[in-house]
Copies of this chain bind each other. A is one copy, B any other.
Amino acid sequence: MTTGKVTLLSAGPGDLDLLTIKAAKALAAADIVLLDDLVNPGIVSLAPRARVIRVGKRGGCKSTPQAFIQRLMQRYAGKGLHVVRVKGGDALLFGRAGEEITALRHAQIPVEIINGISSGFAAAASLGISLTHREHCQGVTFVTAHKQDHGEPNWAALAATGTTLAIYMGMTRIESLCQALLSALPASTPAAVVQWAATASERRWLGTLDRLAIDPVKEGLESPAVILVGNAVGEAVDWVTHHETRACAGDAHAAFNTWQDVTGTVQHAA
C-alpha cells in the first residue's frame, strides 16, 4: 500500500564528519527527521527538505514517550513519506532500535538501518588505543550499566572474560560498578572516562580502577560518557594528558560551535 519507509540512521558520536556517506545521502532525501537529543543538532543542515521533530528521551528526564515516537514513525511512513529516525552512536548498540524495528515490522513498514560510529570507538580513537590490543585481550564488551529492571549487570562475569570493558551509561552508578569490578580485577587495572567523545566538549580522564569512582567525579566528568576498563587502556597512558580537552580542527568547526550552543541546555538537563 504505502511507498513510505523508515530509516534508522546512526549519527555517530557528534562530529558530523563521522557520519557515513550513506547517512548523509539518506538525510538529503528525508521528508521527516526524528531527532534524539544526544545527536548533534547541526545534523539538520544535511536534511534541507525535511520537517524536523525533536523526540529526545534521556533516562530519568522529561521526554517523548517511546510509544509516541513509534506512532510518529508509522503515521508519516504510512503517508508515503521517507522518515529518518536519527539516533546517536550506532543505532544497534543501546538505543531501543530492537523495539522500533519490531513495531515497524508488525506495521509492515519497510525499515532500512544505517550504521554509525558508537562513542566507545570514538573514545578509543581519542585515547589512541586499540580496543582489542592483542597483547592484552581478545575482545571488547560493550555493556550498559543501566539495565531494564534497574539491576546491575554481572560485573564479575564480565571481568572474567578478560575483554576490555566499554561501559555506557555508567556515570550515575560509578561507585557500585567500581566496587563490583574491584572484587574481580586488580586495583591497578587501567581505566579511562571519555565524556562527549569526538565533540568540542570532549573531556578525558585516565587512571586506574581504584581511582575510577573518585577522580573523574571530582573533576566533574558526567554523562554522556564512556568508561573503559582493561589492560588495553593502559596503552593510552603516555599518549594523552589527564583531563586534556581535545582541540578541534577543520571544517567541522561551525557544526561543533552550533552544537555547543544548543547542547548547553541538554547538558544542564542531564
Contact = CB atoms under 8 A, between A and B. Distances in A.
Interface of A: 12, 15-22, 24-25, 90-99, 101-102, 105, 111, 113-118, 121-122, 124-125, 128-136, 138-144, 147-148, 153-154, 157-158, 160-163, 232, 235, 238-239, 250
Contacts of A17: 20-22, 25
A125 to B, nearest CB: 4
A98 B157 contact: no
Nearest to A147: B138
Contact of A135 (B93, B113, B148): B148
Contact of A101 (B122, B130, B131, B134): B130
Q: Which 6 A-B pairs have the closest CB atoms?
A: A139-B143, A98-B133, A98-B130, A17-B22, A113-B125, A141-B141
13 contacts: A20-B117, A92-B131, A93-B130, A101-B130, A105-B238, A113-B124, A132-B142, A139-B141, A139-B144, A139-B158, A140-B141, A154-B162, A157-B162
B134 A235 contact: no
A128 to B, nearest CB: 6
Contact of A125 (B114, B132, B163): B114
A119 B25 CA distance: 21
A182 B141 CA distance: 21
A97 B232 CA distance: 12
B22 A21 contact: no
Copies in the complex: 2
Nearest to A198: B115
Most chain-B CB neighbours within 10 Å: which of A99, A121, A235? A121
A214 to B, nearest CB: 25
A168 to B, nearest CB: 8
Contacts of A132: 92-94, 98, 142, 144
Nearest to A167: B139
A133 B102 CA distance: 11
